């Protein structure tokens, strides 16, 4: 028996593991216990696992931010293994430094540091991991091209005829895609729309050409492809429209083109960021420490993923859901109260 909760050790373990994977409401239904008990069991289990939590620095470290629970949280990931290492209460330089100081061992392991274009993160990398190569994630770079294309589109929209403006809502997602990623029908609709505005057609072509430097076989070829893109934009009279993207590229040029020496991206960081958002979205009234505990136990290195197989139930069959405990004898139901 578990003396703290008046339940068996096996049930306590099952509740704790279920809670790391599912919402407390689901756990309550799965095990026929009150939600408050599920919360208490998980909290004590998480405290045991995380009280002295530390991790070894990975060879490839990824860092990003995640806006959850009303704030921006720093997210630290072992990119090579795809493991979540930490979720920080904030994302400032001091938050990140403190997180590393408190929990990271073997700092010398870090050879590659993956991030977006956040100057604060680069400052931490330079100070704490001077031998690590900083690589700016290509997805974030490409998103900037999409952003500036959309700025041009929004500015041009009032000049378009009504029939063209009416097509825009159905094309918003397509506008953020690479031409080669679209289905033929989407390509046809985008091409038809672009015929309404020579300026937008040119801007779209410039955006598409921007992507291609990432297809280069090496750094030298990539830098040449990017230079050709700048010349292409200027030749087509849109230097002003794309100047801020060019400025960003110049400011981060070494880190952006470091990708071609070490082809790491932040894709696994983004995947874990989505998982953290899913945990947050599924629950009501969750505090930061509970969110962090669920994320680290489910997606970190403390518990093997296969251990959660038994608790991976995508949809709870309605005939298994216990809506109340009125049917339980008083001697059994009393310990579960509150």
pLDDT of residue 317: 39
Between CA 78 and CA 268 the distance in angstroms is 9
pLDDT tens for each residue of 107-158: 999 999 999 998 889 999 999 999 999 999 999 999 999 999 999 999 999 9
> For tokens 């952006």, what's the residue?
256
pLDDT of residue 250: 97
Question: Which residues in the chain land under pLDDT 70?
Answer: 1-5, 309-338
pLDDT tens for each residue of 239-256: 999 999 999 999 999 999
Between CA 255 and CA 298 the distance in angstroms is 32
Q: Rounded to the nearest 5 degrees, what angle is found at the Cα of 58, between the Cα atoms of 130 and 112?
A: 45
Note the Cα 112 to chain centre separation in Å.
19
Between CA 125 and CA 289 the distance in angstroms is 26
Q: Which helix (H) or strand (E) holds 199?
A: helix 198-211
pTM score of the predicted model: 0.83
């Amino acid at each position: 028996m578990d003396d703290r909760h008046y339940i068996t050790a096996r049930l306590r373990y099952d509740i704790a593991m279920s809670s790391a994977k599912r919402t407390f409401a689901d756990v309550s239904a799965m095990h026929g216990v009150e939600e408050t008990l599920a919360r208490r069991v998980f909290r004590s289990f998480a405290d045991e696992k995380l009280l002295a939590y530390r991790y070894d620095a990975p060879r490839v470290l990824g860092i990003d931010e995640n806006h959850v629970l009303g704030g921006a949280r720093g997210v630290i990931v072992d990119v090579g293994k795809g493991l979540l290492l930490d979720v920080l209460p904030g994302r400032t330089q001091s938050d990140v430094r403190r997180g590393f100081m408190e929990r990271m061992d073997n700092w010398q392991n870090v050879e590659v540091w993956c991030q977006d274009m956040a100057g604060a993160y680069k400052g931490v990398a330079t100070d704490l991991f001077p031998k690590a190569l900083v690589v700016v994630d290509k997805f974030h770079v490409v998103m900037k091209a999409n952003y500036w294309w959309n700025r041009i589109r929004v500015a041009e929209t009032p000049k378009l005829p009504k029939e063209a403006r009416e097509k825009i809502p159905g094309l918003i997602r397509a506008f953020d895609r690479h031409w080669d990623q679209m289905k033929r029908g989407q390509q046809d609709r985008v091409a038809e729309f672009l015929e309404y505005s020579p300026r937008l057609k040119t801007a779209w072509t410039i955006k598409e050409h921007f992507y291609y430097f990432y297809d280069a076989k090496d750094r030298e070829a990539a830098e040449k492809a990017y230079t050709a893109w700048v010349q292409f934009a200027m030749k087509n009279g849109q230097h002003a429209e794309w100047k801020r993207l060019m400025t960003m590229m110049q400011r981060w040029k070494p880190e952006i083109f470091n990708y071609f020496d070490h082809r790491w991206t932040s894709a696994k960081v983004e995947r874990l960021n989505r998982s953290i958002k899913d945990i947050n979205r599924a629950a009501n009234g969750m505090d930061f420490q509970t969110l962090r505990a669920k994320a680290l136990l489910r997606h970190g290195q403390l518990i093997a993923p296969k251990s959660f197989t038994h608790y991976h139930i995508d949809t709870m069959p309605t005939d298994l859901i216990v809506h109340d405990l009125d049917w339980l004898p008083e001697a059994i139901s009393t310990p579960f109260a509150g």
